[in-house]
Structure 1
């Protein structure tokens, strides 16, 4: 289900955002609408590519993995797994997204040792 999310004007000049490639920036913005109300998302290549890049045949698992790694290296997402399923979460999600009627997440949260502010 599509979600309405906000992009603050300061996003474009953010120091961490400026370190990302253009494609990684686009992916990061796409992950906002892909994420649930707790800022969590399935981090499989198929799920992300199907949602964020449904009409881009040149988005390979290798490219997507590199973009996700860029975003994670900047601390803008946390990638984790629960068994064989890969997940991601956006730290400080609630600081940047105001959800009027948040629904509880059905996805497991990041590990307790992850730097994460729900």
Structure 2
């Protein structure tokens, strides 16, 4: 099933986003189509490159990795690891996306930003 995502006009005037080079901004915008309905996804640059830039031979997995590092370095993207698997999520997903009929995520929640069933954040599991 195709995901339809929107980008709020305020993203273009965001001081955080505007500080990034244009290709990094494009990768960030593309993540909104890569991530699931909870704003989570596998942190695997080859998959992200294949999904966001399938016909762009000049865009490499190494460049995508650099983009993800820049985005995570300034805050709106969190990279975390659980049981040896790396994941990403947009920390402000709910502010930017309203999913009409969300599909449950197959990606485990971030132990840093997403509370468990009891409402507690788990800082010990994050790597």
Task: Mark yes or no: TM-score above 0.5.
Answer: yes
Q: Distance in 1 between matches of 2:92 and 2:62?
A: 27
Task: Show CA shifts across 1:16-60 (max 9, x none).
Answer: 001111111000011001110100011201110110010111222
SS of alignment partner, residue 87 of structure 1: strand
How far apart are residue 116 of structure 1 and its match? 5.2
Q: Distance in 2 between matches of 1:61 and 1:37?
A: 24
Structure 1: gaps (5+ residues): none
Structure 2 counterpart of 1:83: 83
The change in CA–CA distance for 1:2 and 1:43 in structure 2 (over 3 A counts) is: farther
CA contact (8 A) 1:4 1:33 kept: yes
Higher relative contact order (CA 8 A, sep 6+): 1
Q: Distance in 1 between matches of 2:19 and 2:69?
A: 12
Q: Distance in 2 between matches of 1:84 and 1:48?
A: 19
Q: Distance in 2 between matches of 1:46 and 1:65?
A: 9
The total of aligned residue pairs comes to 115
Q: Distance in 2 between matches of 1:28 and 1:58?
A: 18
Q: Is structure 2 residue 68 aligned with structure 1 residue 68?
A: yes
The TM-score normalised by the length of structure 1 is 0.89
- Structure showing greater Rg: 2
Q: Distance in 1 between matches of 2:2 and 2:55?
A: 16
CA contact (8 A) 1:5 1:33 kept: yes
Structure 2 counterpart of 1:52: 52
